[in-house]
């Protein structure tokens, strides 16, 4: 796992936006896995700027989001579809027909999940999967004890996740109880994984993900199995890492340089 620690949240967000925009510039037909949550809001603002400043075309990009709440009308303002349309797709000019999320109103979530997996396969798989992390170590909506081999499916949200997300709804009662999420196995199939965590409230989950034992108690620890996983952190999210000095020695200021000898 490559661990890049930046001095501030702003620098970490910019680093992730640059990786995404460089990836699209190098491969305009990239298949990107995208994420939502508060952490990604500034990343998408910066990505939109980076894309427009360098004139990077986005018409051929295909995107698959990690997850979507289940049991909401599609036009509900707190669906992840609404979030993505308003925060990224509309503003950056991504053709909406090439952007995919599970349907929040799917009548048959089992069939919807299988169809989502098939769509990802038909697109040739995901080149780069962007990820955030929940305070309980979830990725997508794979809550603790999710199978590390899981595929896209309906998951029941934990009370702690519902609490963390109730700010986007009209109180705890109105916060969805279910979501359709890519599985951990689905996420691990991506050719590259890129996880961003900022803030001291993520420090414990970040330590368990990077240095803890591999296990379903911390779904993000499954990234230890991925051959090309990059974790971008700000200093606050890196506070609890035992080997923090080592990561900073390997990549000073979070800069991803290749070693050379001589």
Binding mask 64-93 for ligand GLP (x = CB under 6 A): --xx--------------------------
From 20-28, 30-38, 121-129, 252-260, span contacting ligand GLP (CB under 6 A): 30-38
Q: Which of residues 157-186 bind ligand GLP (CB under 6 A)?
A: 161, 165
Contact 151, 186 (CB under 8 A): yes
Partnered with residue 142 across adjacent β-strands are 139
Point out the residue whose Cβ comes nearest to ligand GLP. 132
Residue 203 φ/ψ region, left for φ over 0, alpha for ψ in the -120 to 50 degree band, beta for the rest:
alpha
From 32-40, 81-89, 122-130, 221-229, span contacting ligand GLP (CB under 6 A): 32-40
Token pair for 16: 């992730």
Phi, psi of 26 (to 5 degrees): -75, -35
Quickly list DSSP for 23-74. Answer: HHHH-TT-EEEE--SHHHHHHHHHHHHHHHHTT---TT-EEEESEEEESS-T
Binding mask 210-229 for ligand GLP (x = CB under 6 A): --------------------
Torsion angle defined by CA atoms of residues 22, 26, 29 and 32, in that order, rounded to the nearest 10 degrees: -30
Q: Which is nearer to ligand GLP, 185 or 250 (CB)?
A: 185
Q: Which is nearer to ligand GLP, 34 or 58 (CB)?
A: 34
Task: Please return the burial class of 262, using the count of CB atoms within 10 Å of its CB with bins 0-12, 13-18 and 19+.
Answer: exposed
Q: Which is nearer to ligand GLP, 13 or 21 (CB)?
A: 13
Q: Which is nearer to ligand GLP, 36 or 230 (CB)?
A: 36
| Position among 9, 141, 180, 234 found at the interface with ligand GLP (CB under 6 A) | 141
Q: Which residues bind to ligand GLP, rule: CB under 6 A?
A: 35-39, 66-67, 132-134, 140-141, 161, 165
């Amino acid at each position: 796992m490559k661990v890049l620690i930046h001095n501030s949240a702003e620098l970490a967000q910019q680093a992730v936006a640059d990786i995404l925009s460089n990836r699209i510039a190098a491969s305009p037909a990239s298949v990107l896995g995208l994420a939502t949550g508060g952490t990604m809001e500034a990343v998408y603002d910066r990505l939109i700027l980076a894309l427009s400043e360098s004139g990077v075309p986005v018409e051929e990009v295909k995107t698959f989001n990690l997850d979507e709440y289940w049991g909401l009308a599609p036009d509900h303002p707190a669906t992840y579809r609404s979030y993505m349309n308003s925060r990224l797709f509309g503003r950056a000019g991504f053709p909406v027909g090439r952007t995919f999320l599970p349907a929040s109103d799917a009548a048959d979530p089992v069939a919807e999940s299988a169809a989502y997996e098939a769509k990802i396969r038909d697109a040739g798989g995901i080149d780069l999967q962007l990820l955030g992390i929940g305070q309980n170590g979830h990725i997508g909506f794979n809550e603790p004890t999710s199978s590390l081999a899981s595929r896209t499916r309906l998951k029941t949200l934990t009370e702690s996740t519902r609490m963390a997300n109730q700010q986007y709804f009209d109180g705890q009662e109105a916060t969805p109880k279910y979501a359709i999420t890519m599985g951990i196995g689905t996420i691990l199939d991506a050719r590259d994984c890129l996880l961003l965590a900022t803030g001291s409230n993520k420090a414990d989950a970040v330590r368990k993900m990077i240095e803890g034992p591999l296990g379903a108690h911390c779904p993000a620890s499954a990234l230890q199995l991925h051959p090309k996983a990059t974790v971008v952190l700000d200093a606050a999210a890196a506070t609890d890492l035992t080997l923090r000095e080592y990561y900073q020695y390997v990549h000073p200021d979070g800069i991803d340089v290749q070693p050379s000898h001589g």
